[in-house]
Amino acid sequence: MKLFSSLFRFSIFLVLLVTYEISAEEIPLSVQIVRTSTAETVSITEIVKESSKYDVIVLGEEHDNEDLHRFYEALFKSISDLESTSLSLEMLEQDQQNIVNEFMKGTISESHFLSSVTQWKNFKRDYLPLVSIAKDKKCNVVAANPPRRYVNLISRKGLSAYREFSDGAIQYLPPAYSLEKYLTEDYKQRLTALFVEGHEGGHGMGNQHLVLGQATWDQGMAEAISREFYKTGKKVVHLNGRFHSDRTGGVVHRLREMGLSVLVLSGFVKDREESREFAKIADFVILTNSR
């Protein structure tokens, strides 16, 4: 019976996909989509088709790439046209979830929503359109990131910061043990190299704490995504900066450790990465002509 049910749902998906395919191809987007396993250039329809096999779709971005933002809006709309989907955002913090819910239900206006959340400077231009698509389609929106003020303390004091957090703060943070438990050596090395470069060759405990801060972001987002998936049974489309998800690092590794299947996309300007590295970076790479 379970097998029949799964086959039936997949058959319905294929019928909907055939109906959808023509309109997807008409989307005028100045990007190149590469399926990294074969190095072939494909259409947005191929991503939508592939997405049906996964619990979570992670969209890695460079935060100032407007072409990529427009593409991800079209992709999220296309996926949510075919399946019941939740949207998860790095750009919203977990202690703002009630405000997000109020906006999604129409309890508060857009202006009150924007004035009530801690938002990135480009939030209205680059991320509000995604939230609006989700609202129109009655999709849940997950405020995925742990509050910045708490992560900042972990970045300065390491795990000892947990001794200073109130019970109210702890509810928005992942368990302390999980930060290092699911931290892969490759990801740790890449983070350390990044922080050494950013701090002009600084070393020692400071960089270790910065790595734990990054791990807090990653584990916090992974737990928010996991809660949404297991609570609702809906596919989750999650958007974050691509360092969190490239090369099976950060969020992606942690989600897989939680038993979720994950399809990974990464977007960036053409020639930023060597094409021979694409297969290591993500399942699909989205190349834009400019930011």
State the CB neighbour count (10 A cutoff) for residue 277: 12
User: What was the pLDDT predicted at 29?
Assistant: 58
pTM: 0.90
User: What was the pLDDT predicted at 197?
Assistant: 78
- Model pLDDT for residues 223-266, shown as the tens digit of each residue: 999 999 999 999 999 999 999 999 999 999 999 999 999 999 99
User: What was the pLDDT predicted at 288?
Assistant: 96
Residues making up the chain, counted from first to last: 291
More confident residue, 4 or 109: 109
User: What was the pLDDT predicted at 15?
Assistant: 45
Indicate whether 87 pLDDT > 80. Answer: yes
User: What was the pLDDT predicted at 20?
Assistant: 46
User: What was the pLDDT predicted at 207?
Assistant: 87
CB 157 within 8 A of CB 179: no
State the CB neighbour count (10 A cutoff) for residue 273: 16
User: What confidence category does residue 200 fall into, taking pLDDT thresholds of 50, 70 and 90?
Assistant: very low
Q: Which of 3-12, 21-30, 97-106 has the lowest mean pLDDT?
A: 3-12
- Model pLDDT for residues 41-58, shown as the tens digit of each residue: 999 999 999 999 999 999
More confident residue, 2 or 189: 189
How far apart are alpha carbons 172 and 186 in whole angstroms?
A: 27
User: What was the pLDDT predicted at 198?
Assistant: 66
User: What was the pLDDT predicted at 196?
Assistant: 87
Which among 218, 173, 172 has a CA at the least distance from the CA of 191? Answer: 218
Please give the share of the chain, as a percent, with pLDDT higher than 90: 84
